[in-house]
Structure 1
């Protein structure tokens, strides 16, 4: 589970890096505007997937701990 959490954290940092390097103060013009529009959609999908992965990881971890306590 630790590997999954680490991967999710790495993806989170990548999202932040893309946000930081693609803002209009750094990348101006039509290409930057198109990228930011597209990125907003992709970022939303990636964020939803990350949230789901983290929730599923937490649920699995909780289930495993309960089963370990029973045995």
Structure 2
């Protein structure tokens, strides 16, 4: 396997994990709603959760951007190697 194909596989997995994390965050939001959980502790959790949810979603978005940037860098390096004829 080439470095680029290894990177593409890593990117695929990282994006899959990011999707799963976002799905889990959405599930927490749904499962902790007032229809399933009431009382002062639930109100406090939902208040705190909204901030945590934003931080998690922002971190995932930043990770996705870094993943895309890393893949582009590897693709460019591999293209440059082909142009110059240098190997591994």
TM-score (norm. length: structure 2): 0.74
What secondary structure, in the 3-state scheme, does the structure 2 residue paired with 1:35 have? helix
User: Could you tell me how far 1:32 is from its partner in structure 2?
Assistant: 1.0
**What is the RMSD computed on CA atoms of the aligned residues?**
1.1
What secondary structure, in the 3-state scheme, does the structure 2 residue paired with 1:33 have? helix
Alignment partner, residue 56 of structure 2: 46
What secondary structure, in the 3-state scheme, does the structure 1 residue paired with 2:30 have? helix
For the pair shown, the structure with the greater C-alpha radius of gyration is 2
Higher relative contact order (CA 8 A, sep 6+): 2
Alignment partner, residue 45 of structure 2: 35
Q: Which runs of 5+ in 1 are unaligned?
A: none
Q: Deviations over 1:33-71 (max 9, x none)?
A: 011011111111111110110000010011111112222
* Corresponding pairs, count: 71
Matched, 1:59 2:80: no
What secondary structure, in the 3-state scheme, does the structure 1 residue paired with 2:27 have? helix
- 1-structure distance, mates of 2:32, 2:78: 46
